[in-house]
């Protein structure tokens, strides 16, 4: 315990020095007034959405409204599907120096951490405070290294690219007294620089089909500042593109300006067995961000979640009803005595949830997603990233599945049969882009037959009967 307090004391001690020019600009701009991004290392996902809003005014508001609408619709559902959603992953390791070229063992370790965290099998779930136990859940999402590349060739799911780029954050050509120029550089260049890692022509590694793979890029995300004694500023340890490009999510007319869909990670923050370390003045983070939690946090963003403090004060929200309001990020202190906002969840004013993966907590502190966060992530996959996952039957259903769906592939006709006596069965059909097409229901009948009236291609069939739910991906042939 003493060592943890010492680390935090050292952290506060070097904060003033470590806070670089770009971090200061990001967190004192009008768009961030009142926000509590107090540390020099943070997640870039909210700043990315602000950047997109500057480029396309209305983007943030539309995305907020779409997320609110999504959550409200989910609350009407009795229970989410028990099916496990399997997501293929490709890691792009983009390296300029040997320490950035992380070994396969670190990549596999990070994948294991993702799976343990999303399946709620991480050992530190035992440290979750009892008042939060009724609200957390297994996301039933699993991640697997891709075994086949986009061309059908075998792969281990790891792409290694040697690059001439030393700092994917870019080179800041300004000094401390040039604040206006720095602000303009941040607005115009910062995210362009960072996303070079996703393009081979700019020194990075091209994405695999983002509709079929979760792409995770790993590299050096620091910014080189030659006019500040060659300072290497680390602003973002990770960021992810939201599902807001989908017209059903953020409204028509918005996109991410050719930024690739996926997750970007600073190479030091990957895995728990990573031989690389944060250099001074960021050294204290070696004891705080050392268990692979950054990737879990960023994949949460990729699947539609926001920071639990809503990137604002007590009047801001993440639109999730079972995460307590918070006035600011947890600031990596894992303070379990903090209750920064008055709110009510089932009539109780719960404290800030430092253990939530979507807070800024130390890796040793984060261990849980809430039930509503799980619903949002699963629905994001089903509705907004429908070609990204495969469905597997949960272990407890392997001997007696609740539903069968056949024939699959089909020429158009589909039949659903339920096992058990259900008073009502409801079916929804979505197309491959996640757009709702049709719904069907039956009373007192354990089977239902309907037609897929659209063109050939993949369809998603969601079924609910009583407390049982099911998801099927059905291929309609020409």
Lowest mean pLDDT among 63-72, 149-158, 203-212: 63-72
Per-residue pLDDT, 7 = 38
What mean pLDDT is predicted for residues 122-150? 94
CATH class of 397-476: mainly beta
CATH no. for 2-384: 3.40.390.10
> Residue ranges of the domains in the chain?
2-384, 397-476
Residue 423: band (very low, low, confident or very high) from pLDDT cuts 50, 70, 90: confident
Closest CA to 215 of 88, 124, 305: 88
pLDDT tens, position by position, 240-271: 998 865 555 655 556 666 689 999 999 999 99
Q: Tell me which range, 64-73, 134-143, 413-422, 425-434, is most confidently predicted by mean pLDDT.
A: 134-143
What residues pair up with 133 in beta bridges, in sequence order?
none
């Amino acid at each position: 315990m003493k060592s943890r307090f010492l680390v935090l004391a050292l952290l506060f001690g070097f904060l003033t020095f470590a806070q670089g020019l770009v971090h200061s600009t990001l967190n004192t701009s009008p768009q961030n007034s009142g926000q509590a991004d107090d540390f020099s290392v943070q997640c870039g996902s909210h700043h990315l959405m602000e950047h997109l809003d500057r480029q396309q005014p209305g983007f943030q508001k539309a995305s907020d409204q779409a997320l609110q609408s999504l959550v409200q619709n989910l609350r009407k559902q009795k229970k989410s599907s028990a099916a496990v959603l399997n997501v293929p992953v490709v890691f792009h390791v983009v390296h300029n120096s040997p320490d950035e070229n992380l070994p396969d063992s670190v990549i596999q370790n990070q994948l294991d951490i993702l799976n343990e965290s999303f399946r709620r099998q991480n050992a530190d779930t035992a440290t979750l405070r009892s008042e939060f136990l009724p609200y957390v859940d297994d996301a039933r999402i699993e991640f697997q290294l891709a075994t086949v590349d986009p061309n059908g060739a075998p792969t281990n799911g790891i792409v290694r690219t040697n690059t001439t780029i030393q700092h994917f954050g870019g080179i800041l050509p300004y000094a401390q007294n040039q604040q206006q120029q720095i602000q303009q550089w941040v607005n115009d260049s910062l995210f362009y620089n960072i996303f070079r890692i996703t393009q081979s022509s700019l020194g990075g590694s091209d994405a695999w089909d983002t509709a079929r793979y979760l792409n995770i890029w790993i590299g050096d995300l620091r910014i080189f500042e030659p006019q500040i004694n060659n300072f290497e500023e680390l602003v973002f340890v990770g960021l992810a593109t939201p599902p807001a490009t989908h017209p059903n999510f953020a409204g028509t007319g918005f996109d991410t300006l050719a930024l690739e869909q996926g997750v970007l990670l600073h190479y030091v923050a990957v895995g728990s067995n990573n031989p690389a370390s944060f250099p001074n003045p960021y050294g204290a983070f070696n004891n705080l961000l050392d268990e692979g939690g950054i990737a879990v946090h960023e994949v949460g963003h990729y699947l539609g979640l926001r920071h639990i403090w809503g990137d604002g004060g007590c009047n801001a929200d993440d639109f999730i009803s079972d995460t307590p309001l918070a006035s600011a990020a947890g600031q990596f202190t894992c303070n379990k005595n903090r209750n920064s906002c008055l709110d009510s969840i089932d009539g109780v004013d719960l404290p800030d949830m430092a253990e939530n993966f979507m807070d800024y907590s130390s890796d040793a502190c984060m261990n849980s997603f809430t039930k509503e966060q799980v619903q949002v992530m699963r629905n994001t996959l089903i509705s907004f990233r429908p070609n990204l996952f495969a469905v597997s039957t949960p272990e407890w259903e392997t001997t007696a599945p609740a539903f069968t769906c056949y024939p699959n592939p089909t020429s158009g006709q589909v039949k659903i049969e339920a096992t058990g006596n259900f008073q009502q069965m409801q079916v929804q059909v979505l197309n491959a882009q996640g757009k709702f097409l049709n719904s069907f229901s039956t009373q007192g009948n354990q089977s239902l037959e309907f037609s897929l009236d659209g063109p050939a291609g993949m369809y998603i069939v969601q079924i609910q009967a009583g407390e049982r739910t099911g998801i099927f991906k059905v291929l309609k042939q020409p």
